[in-house]
């Protein structure tokens, strides 16, 4: 990919847009960023843009699309907007920020590890990308994988949908004072990337050496016309993989495995398939009777069915986190991490904010922040993680979810539901007949109601099953407000 001197239009001025624009500008491209929002709305992002980059705000002028040599789109930008379609008609290449990061790393001849002591699957290659996708658990798995690789002594960068744009992380490297501005060489072993379905829509050559699909449950059906279409987007993670690459699947998600297996059948070159499972022995990583085992038949360093760790030693708790831990462990081992580095990481990794995060115990009642539970599948996993009465705070902006999926778990485990946000009435219709269901006008009131009806031994769980944008800036804002409210509660 030739960048110097090219006219590039970047669509969307968020984290990804800032990262892409600054990196392209650093490589001497002629960059214009466009966004429908106003200068006031985008003030915080504009302050981070390099001076040579031009801005075209409050709309998408057709001219900067059809005259461009290349268009880069941010993950939230639909591919069917009129100006993009016109650029496509003119033959202008259109790729996403993820693809841009991949192309730059690949073409800068990055130093990718060739000394992996495990399976010969992640040696050399085009940038050493290790990619994580799925409906739930992506951020925790990605962060844990990066933690394991760093503990193993590998040089990595972490980014993508996890909140740090990959292009921004690459930009930080190439603009270091001791970076060679001539060769732009990136000294990396692996790029660890959380990738969303939105990002995968706009790839072209993106080929991770290792990929994992954690699970697939209904999500973003306000953007996709069907679960099959959503699944198709996720499957693009292995679209360009070949023999010598690997793909890790969740054996406990049979529908996803079946769908991915069908798509793999039509590939002429296929990656090696491994699995992780809480329920049965598989080639990869599995759990049995509270212990986690490795089972890699071709490894000369690890015996079959080798005990990796006792489940109680894993620092992050919950059923879903056991799955995330197994997935990260398998990826790290396949990438060459020593067993001890993986074990130590499982014992030490503290988890991420807003993912079933313990906040505080007040009068025998524990409060958990699971604001990242923005879809129904995530809430299922969170509810399954507790065996005590739960007061569930839910609601927000509906993403065309089927809340009736929660009925059995609500009936078994939820003492009361406290609802907020736009989806209040829909959730009440689906679940309100199963347990006490109360309405709150805001999160502060929801916490106060939850406290008033709780008794010693209960759990108050914020796990909304909805997007946050009706009342908050994002799920992080929602989670932090919840923690602030809970922290400021007085003891009785």
pTM for this model (two decimals): 0.81
pLDDT band with cut points at 50, 70 and 90 for residue 279: very high
What are the boundaries of each domain within the chain? 7-92, 100-348, 357-487
Q: What is the pLDDT of residue 303?
A: 76
CATH number of 357-487: 3.90.190.20
The answer to whether 161 touches 224, Cβ cutoff 8 Å, is no
Q: Residue 225 pLDDT > 80, yes or no?
A: no
Longest dimension (CA), the chain: 68
Q: Residue 473 pLDDT > 60, yes or no?
A: yes
Which structure tokens are listed for 35?
Answer: 């966004």
Over residues 421-437, the mean pLDDT reads 96
Over residues 112-140, the mean pLDDT reads 62
Q: What is the pLDDT of residue 185?
A: 58
- The arrangement of strands across the sheet holding 7-11 comes to 54-57, 30-35, 7-11, 70-73, 94-96
pLDDT band with cut points at 50, 70 and 90 for residue 352: confident
CA–CA separation, 170 and 101 (whole Å): 8
Strand extents, DSSP E, 178-298: 190-194, 210-213, 246-250, 272-277, 284-288, 291-295
Q: What are the pLDDT digits (tens) for 19-46?
A: 999 999 999 999 999 999 999 999 999 9
**CATH superfamily, with its number, for domain 7-92:** NAD(P)-binding Rossmann-like Domain (3.40.50.720)
CA–CA separation, 354 and 368 (whole Å): 9
> Quick check: do 100-348 and 357-487 share a fold?
no
Contacts of residue 49, defined as CB under 8 A and 6 or more positions apart, other chains included, come to 13, 18, 21, 22, 33, 55
Q: Which CATH architecture has domain 100-348?
A: 3-Layer(aba) Sandwich (3.40)
Q: What is the pLDDT of residue 78?
A: 85
Q: What is the DSSP letter of 355?
A: S
pLDDT band with cut points at 50, 70 and 90 for residue 191: very high
Which segment of 225-229, 247-251, 273-277, 300-304 scores lowest on mean pLDDT?
A: 300-304
């Amino acid at each position: 990919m030739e960048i110097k001197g090219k006219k590039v239009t970047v669509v969307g001025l968020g984290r990804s847009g800032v990262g892409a624009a600054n990196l392209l500008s650093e490589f001497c491209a002629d960059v214009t960023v466009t966004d429908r929002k106003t200068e006031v709305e985008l003030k915080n992002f504009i302050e981070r843009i390099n001076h040579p980059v031009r801005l075209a705000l409050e709309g998408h002028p057709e001219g900067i699309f059809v005259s461009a040599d290349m268009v880069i789109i941010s993950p939230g930008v639909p591919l069917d907007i009129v100006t993009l379609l016109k650029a496509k008609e003119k033959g202008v290449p259109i790729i996403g920020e993820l693809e841009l990061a991949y192309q730059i790393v690949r073409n800068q001849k990055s130093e990718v590890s060739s000394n992996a002591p495990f399976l010969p699957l992640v040696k050399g290659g085009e940038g050493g990308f290790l990619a994580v996708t799925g409906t739930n658990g992506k951020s925790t798995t990605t962060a844990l994988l990066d933690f394991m690789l760093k503990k193993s002594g590998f040089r990595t960068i972490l980014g993508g949908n996890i909140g740090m744009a990959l292009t921004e992380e690459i930009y930080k490297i190439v603009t270091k004072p001791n970076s060679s501005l001539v060769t732009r060489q990136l000294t990396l072993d692996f790029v660890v990337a959380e990738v969303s379905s939105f990002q995968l829509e706009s790839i072209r050559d993106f080929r991770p050496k290792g990929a994992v699909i954690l699970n697939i449950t209904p999500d973003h059906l306000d953007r996709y016309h069907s679960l099959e279409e959503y699944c198709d987007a996720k499957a693009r993670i292995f679209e360009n993989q070949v023999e010598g690459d690997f793909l890790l699947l969740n054996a406990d998600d049979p529908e996803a495995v079946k769908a991915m297996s069908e798509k793999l059948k039509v590939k002429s070159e296929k990656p090696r398939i491994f699995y992780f499972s809480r329920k049965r022995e598989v080639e990869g990583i599995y759990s049995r009777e509270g212990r986690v085992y490795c089972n890699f038949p071709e490894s000369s360093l690890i015996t079959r069915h080798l005990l990796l760790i006792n489940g109680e030693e894993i620092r992050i708790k919950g059923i879903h986190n056991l799955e995330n831990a197994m997935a990260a462990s398998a990826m790290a081992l396949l990438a060459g991490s020593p067993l001890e580095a993986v074990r130590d990481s499982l014992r030490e990794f503290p988890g991420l904010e807003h993912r079933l995060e313990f906040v505080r115990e007040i009068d025998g009642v524990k409060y958990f922040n699971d604001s990242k539970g923005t879809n129904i599948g995530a809430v299922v996993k969170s509810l399954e993680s507790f065996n005590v009465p739960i007061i569930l705070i839910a609601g927000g902006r509906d993403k065309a979810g089927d809340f009736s999926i929660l009925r059995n778990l609500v009936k078994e485990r939820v003492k009361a539901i406290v609802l907020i946000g736009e989806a209040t009435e829909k959730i009440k219709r689906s679940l309100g007949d199963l347990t006490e269901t109360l309405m709150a006008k805001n999160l502060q009131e929801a916490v106060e109601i939850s406290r008033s009806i709780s008794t010693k031994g209960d759990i108050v769980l914020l796990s909304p099953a909805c997007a946050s944008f009706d009342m908050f800036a994002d799920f992080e804002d929602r989670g932090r407000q919840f923690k602030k409210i809970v922290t400021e509660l007085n003891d009785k």
